[in-house]
């Protein structure tokens, strides 16, 4: 038994160290991808690799493949190990390295060709996400055994700690903070709020991506979202009609975070129903004035309703699969909005989940990698109409006979599914920040680049930001403004 334990721990530790080094390579390559191809959403740049960079990447791929074989050799004795958790850990680690090798090879080809294939680039990102999930799984199945010999055994970004007799996984939140981050993370997040209130509209996208990266690096994005939503909801200038519209930074940050965090979930939910619609490529005319026979019009309404139902069923049936951090955002929205605008809870949830998350994919499936070609005009018309119906359902708005004409035929669909949507919203609002699982994985390179973007905006809007900070009624306002002024002076 003692010899078996020594064998188990030796294999596990050796594999763990190798995996950690390879994952670091993967993170650096991911950073290169972001640098050349732009932000995660809507990216495609024109960057290419020179010959030396291409050779370096191919060499990294070969090294990863060799290391994968090395792992297989190290893991050979596992057939004699009865400890299932260690066996699973070793096998998961081998699978992880195999994915890294594949990721590096594909990535090198994509970048060498200039990154013009959205589908291949998305596949690279999926591989990267899978690598991270496999790393977490490797920790999960091996922690009990390893902690018996090393209480603070660590691989990559996750640390396993034991306290008060309980075992739990924690994403590191005590990483060293830069002077900028120290300012950003002050209690109540006054500086991020001031920046969001001061930034020019044309910098919304840049700032929201930068804040999401910086806060995600320290696992604080949900805290930021909660603060921004609360600030907007309780702002005296906010009305029921302007609450969390697309022009607000709270809405922008939520959308950026959700789209990056839930991309795989999003594609999984919509792939099947949208594929059926696109494959059928039907001409569905809902306007009765453009259809000669009443029976034909009724059949069109029936087919269109069936398409709407299939998409909705796939969405509401996926509540349990929704990423925990997205559920936490929904819970934050419900709690904050209900306290001031109780009648607007459904429309705010609908705006977040449908208008800014599901509907953009429904209307532009090719942009999100669901299809390789743009939909035909007939299919696109159907998809846009489906998105319109689902958005009205989420907003609890029926179609008027005069203003929206032939869409009134879909009001029975809205009535039929109103309760279904309520139940879906209730399920996805059960999450909390405590149940979330770490959110986005952001590299140090991404975090540093985002810090530069944030600093650029700070310099650009310094006077306005200082005025906003001055207007805050805080006990530490003077100290806050002094810290901000000193930081800006040093940054010059």
Q: Would the CA dihedral through 290, 296, 297, 302 be positive or negative?
A: negative
Encoded tokens for 271: 């792939």
237-269 residue pLDDT tens? 777 777 777 568 888 899 899 988 888 888 889
User: Does 417 lie in the same domain as 279?
Assistant: yes
As a whole-number percent, the residues of the chain with pLDDT over 70 amount to: 62
Task: Decide if 257 is inside a domain.
Answer: no
User: Does 221 lie in the same domain as 152?
Assistant: no
Q: State which H helix or E strand residue 159 sits in.
A: strand 158-163
User: Does 332 lie in the same domain as 281?
Assistant: yes
How far is CA 310 from its chain centroid? 24
Per the model's pLDDT, the better-predicted residue between 26 and 229 turns out to be 229
Are the C-beta atoms of residues 95 and 20 closer than 8 Å to each other? no
Q: What is the mean pLDDT of the chain?
A: 74
Are the C-beta atoms of residues 12 and 77 closer than 8 Å to each other? no
Question: What are residue 170's DSSP bridge partners?
Answer: 159
| End-of-domain residue from the set 428, 456, 471 | 428
User: Does 109 lie in the same domain as 160?
Assistant: yes
67-84 residue pLDDT tens? 555 655 555 554 444 444
Window from 37-41, 166-170, 240-244 with minimum mean pLDDT: 166-170
Phi, psi of 310 (to 5 degrees): -65, -40
| End-of-domain residue from the set 171, 206, 229 | 171
Predicted confidence at residue 366, as pLDDT, reads 84
Predicted confidence at residue 202, as pLDDT, reads 85
Phi, psi of 431 (to 5 degrees): -75, 170
Q: Which domain holds residue 463?
A: 179-242+439-491
Predicted confidence at residue 6, as pLDDT, reads 61
User: Does 14 lie in the same domain as 147?
Assistant: yes
158-171 average pLDDT score: 28
User: Does 415 lie in the same domain as 314?
Assistant: yes
Task: Decide if 253 is inside a domain.
Answer: no
Sheet of strand 166-171, all strands in order from the earlier edge strand to the far edge: 154-155, 158-163, 166-171
Number of domains in the chain: 3
Residues 6+ apart with CB under 8 A from 92: 134, 137, 138, 141
**Quick check: 176 pLDDT over 90?**
no
User: Does 206 lie in the same domain as 143?
Assistant: no
Window from 14-18, 40-44, 92-96, 329-333 with minimum mean pLDDT: 40-44
User: Does 106 lie in the same domain as 237?
Assistant: no
CATH of the domain at 316: 1.10.506.10
Predicted confidence at residue 138, as pLDDT, reads 46
Window from 35-39, 229-233, 279-283, 381-385 with minimum mean pLDDT: 35-39
Q: CB neighbours (10 Å) of residue 76?
A: 11
**Quick check: 146 pLDDT over 50?**
no
User: Does 443 lie in the same domain as 305?
Assistant: no
119-134 average pLDDT score: 55
433-458 residue pLDDT tens? 544 445 678 888 889 999 999 999 99
User: Does 275 lie in the same domain as 413?
Assistant: yes
* 158-162 own/partner pairs: CB under 8 Å, 24+ apart: none
Q: Would the CA dihedral through 38, 41, 44, 50 be positive or negative?
A: positive
Burial pattern 130-154, b for ≥16 Cβ within 10 A else e, equals: bbbebbbbbbbbbbebbeeeeeebe
| End-of-domain residue from the set 409, 428, 447 | 428
Predicted confidence at residue 466, as pLDDT, reads 92
User: Does 277 lie in the same domain as 214?
Assistant: no
Window from 236-240, 338-342, 408-412 with minimum mean pLDDT: 236-240
Measured between its terminal Cα atoms, the distance across the chain in Å is 63
208-230 average pLDDT score: 91
User: Does 228 lie in the same domain as 333?
Assistant: no
**Phi/psi class of residue 219: alpha, beta or left (left: φ > 0; alpha: ψ in -120 to 50)?**
left
Window from 19-28, 285-294, 402-411 with minimum mean pLDDT: 19-28
**Quick check: 346 pLDDT over 60?**
yes
């Amino acid at each position: 038994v003692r010899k078996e334990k020594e064998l188990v721990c030796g294999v596990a530790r050796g594999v763990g160290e190798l995996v950690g080094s390879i994952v670091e390579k993967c993170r650096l390559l991911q950073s290169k991808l972001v640098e050349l191809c732009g932000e995660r959403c809507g990216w495609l740049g024109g960057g290419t690799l020179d010959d030396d960079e291409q050779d370096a990447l191919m060499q990294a791929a070969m090294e990863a493949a060799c290391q994968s074989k090395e792992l297989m050799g190290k893991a050979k004795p596992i057939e004699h190990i009865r400890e299932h958790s260690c066996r699973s850990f070793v096998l998961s680690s081998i699978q992880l390295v195999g994915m890294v090798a594949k990721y590096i090879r594909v990535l090198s080809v994509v970048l060498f060709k200039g990154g013009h294939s959205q589908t291949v680039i998305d596949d690279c990102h999926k591989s990267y996400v899978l690598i991270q999930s496999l790393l977490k799984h490797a920790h999960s199945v091996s922690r009990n055994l390893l902690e018996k010999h090393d209480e603070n055994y660590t691989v990559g970004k996750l640390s396993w700690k034991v306290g008060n007799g309980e075992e739990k996984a924690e994403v590191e939140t005590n990483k060293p903070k830069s002077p900028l981050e120290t300012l950003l993370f002050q209690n109540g997040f006054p500086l991020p709020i001031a920046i969001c209130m001061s930034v020019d509209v044309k910098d919304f996208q840049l700032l929201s991506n930068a804040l999401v990266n910086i806060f995600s690096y320290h696992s604080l994005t949900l805290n930021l979202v909660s603060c921004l939503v609360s600030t907007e909801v309780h702002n005296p200038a906010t009305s029921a009609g302007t609450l969390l519209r697309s022009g607000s930074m709270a809405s922008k940050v939520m959308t950026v975070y959700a789209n990056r965090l839930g991309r795989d979930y999003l594609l999984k939910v919509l792939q099947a129903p949208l594929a059926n619609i696109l494959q059928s490529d039907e001409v569905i005319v809902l306007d009765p004035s453009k259809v000669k026979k009443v029976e034909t019009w009724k059949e069109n309404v029936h087919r269109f309703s069936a398409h709407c139902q299939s998409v909705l069923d796939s969405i509401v049936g996926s509540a349990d699969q929704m990423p925990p951090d997205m559920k936490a955002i929904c819970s934050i929205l419900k709690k904050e909005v209900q306290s001031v605008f109780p009648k607007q809870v459904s429309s705010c949830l609908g705006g977040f989940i449908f208008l800014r998350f599901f509907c953009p994919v429904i209307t532009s499936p090719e942009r999100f990698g669901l299809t390789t070609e743009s939909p035909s005009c007939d299919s696109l018309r159907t998809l846009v109409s489906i998105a319109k119906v689902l958005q009205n359902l989420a907003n609890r708005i029926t179609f008027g006979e005069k203003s929206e004409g032939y869409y009134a035929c879909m009001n029975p669909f809205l009535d039929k599914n109103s309760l279904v949507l309520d139940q879906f919203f209730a399920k996805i609002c059960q999450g909390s920040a405590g149940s979330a699982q770490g959110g986005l994985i952001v590299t140090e390179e991404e975090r540093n680049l985002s810090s530069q973007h944030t600093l650029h905006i700070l310099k650009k809007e310094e006077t306005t930001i200082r005025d906003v900070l001055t207007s805050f009624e805080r006990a530490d306002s003077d100290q806050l403004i002094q810290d901000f002024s000193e930081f800006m002076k040093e940054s010059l």
